[in-house]
Amino acid sequence: MSKIHNFSAGPAILPQVAIDNSIEALKDFAETGLSLITVSHRAKEFVAVMDQAVANAKELFGIGDDYDVIFIQGGASTQFCMVPFNLLPINGKAAYLNTGTWATNAIKEAEKLGNVEVVASSEESNFNFIPKNYSIPNDAAYFHITTNNTIYGTELHEDLDVNVPLIADMSSDIYSRPVDVSKYDLIYAGAQKNIGPAGTTMVIVKKGILGKTGRNIPTMLNYETHIKKESMFNTPPVFPIFVVNETFKWLKSIGGVEEIYKLNKAKAQLLYNEIDNNPLFKGTAAVEDRSIMNVTFVLKNDSLDADFLDYCKNANISGIKGHRSVGGFRASLYNALPIESVQALVDVMQAFSQKFG
């Protein structure tokens, strides 16, 4: 079968070794004679996987003992309500930066539980840039950001220094670049964008920030529930967590976050250079805020969109169509995507320009 270049925004490409090892575990997990998806989550063999996943998560990001790492269910969308449930005091206020659809959804959930101040938004410009030069109220319980915006192709490239606890949704750029975790009080990420399949969400929680809201939090929505039970309050999603751990092991084997960051920047630069120099295409995000994970672009003549998608299909390029809410095209360059796939897309763009330019 010909190689498929997978630019899907999520569920997304994963390292082949993680997929291969997961297939073997489905057949016979850790020489137990049982499939991974039938073994007890309390079995010592899976407990070892969970422990290793937590240890690898910490090692890759340099996370100290002053943070807990848990794996829970519900995706980032459940985190939109878990964050205010656990961190927004009754009659308190939270601050949010609105940079796209998922930030908007997080704001809507928080508004159900308390006062929310949107300190800045790029909505009027169709979220094509990251707002800057805003003020965060000192009385805010926390400040919530979305570090990468998959639909609109914008990204925060540095860790912020802020005057209140910082909360980040890193679902689509987690482990794509070095992060100073000490600047954050809580980080969450749905696995399906960059570290595993859908089904689990990783949460990094600074110790000492919980239990201060005065709320009666539903058991499953209480971070302390999952921290105390080491991610096993209820049956965890064993298969996604196994794949996440295999992905972590792959990332460590190639040099960790620092090395993948170099590769990710090279992939993005290769594609952005073509977009900027090809007369048929143009980027949609402000240059200084361009994402290295999700590259969004359009044809200047959108009547050629279907023709370009046909060119991509014939070159085994998959998942290039833009999000339904914005149109155009989106190339997701997650960690496991090789630079050869980016070059294949660039080659198609150049061939397309020769014919239609």
Which of 222, 253, 284 corresponds to the end of one domain?
A: 253
Q: Is residue 58 part of a domain?
A: yes
Q: Which residues of the chain have pLDDT under 70?
A: 1
Which residue range forms the structural domain that includes residue 38?
16-253
Bond prior to 218 in cis (omega within 30° of 0): no
pTM of the full structure: 0.97
**Same domain assignment for residues 261 and 113:** no
Which candidate, 31, 81, 109, 6, places its Cα nearest to that of 338? Answer: 6
**Same domain assignment for residues 229 and 350:** no
Which of 253, 286, 315 corresponds to the end of one domain?
A: 253
Q: Is residue 29 part of a domain?
A: yes
Q: Is residue 248 part of a domain?
A: yes
**Same domain assignment for residues 268 and 324:** yes
Tell me the per-residue pLDDT of 161-220, one tens digit each, with 9 for 90 and over: 999 999 999 999 999 999 999 999 999 999 999 999 999 999 999 999 999 999 999 999
Q: Is residue 1 part of a domain?
A: no
**Same domain assignment for residues 110 and 192:** yes
Q: How many domains does the chain have?
A: 2
CA distance 212 to 309: 52
**Same domain assignment for residues 245 and 303:** no
Q: Is residue 279 part of a domain?
A: yes
Model pLDDT, residue 2 = 73
**Same domain assignment for residues 52 and 131:** yes
**Same domain assignment for residues 245 and 315:** no
Question: What CATH number did the domain enclosing 267 receive?
Answer: 3.90.1150.10
Question: What CATH number did the domain enclosing 110 receive?
Answer: 3.40.640.10
**Same domain assignment for residues 229 and 285:** no
What is the C-alpha radius of gyration for the chain, rounded to an integer number of angstroms? 21
Which of 253, 288, 323 corresponds to the end of one domain?
A: 253
**Same domain assignment for residues 242 and 271:** no
Q: Is residue 278 part of a domain?
A: yes
**Same domain assignment for residues 208 and 272:** no
Q: Is residue 9 part of a domain?
A: no
**Same domain assignment for residues 292 and 246:** no
CA distance 175 to 177: 5
Model pLDDT, residue 357 = 82
Q: Is the dihedral of CA 272, 278, 282, 288 positive or negative?
A: positive
**Same domain assignment for residues 219 and 301:** no
**CA–CA–CA angle 294, 296, 298 (5° rounding):** 160
For residue 255, give every residue at least 6 positions away whose Cβ sits within 8 Å of its Cβ, in sequence order, or none: none
Tell me the per-residue pLDDT of 237-254, one tens digit each, with 9 for 90 and over: 999 999 999 999 999 999
Name the amino acid, one letter, at 139. D
Please identify every residue annotated as catalytic. 102, 169, 193
Model pLDDT, residue 323 = 87
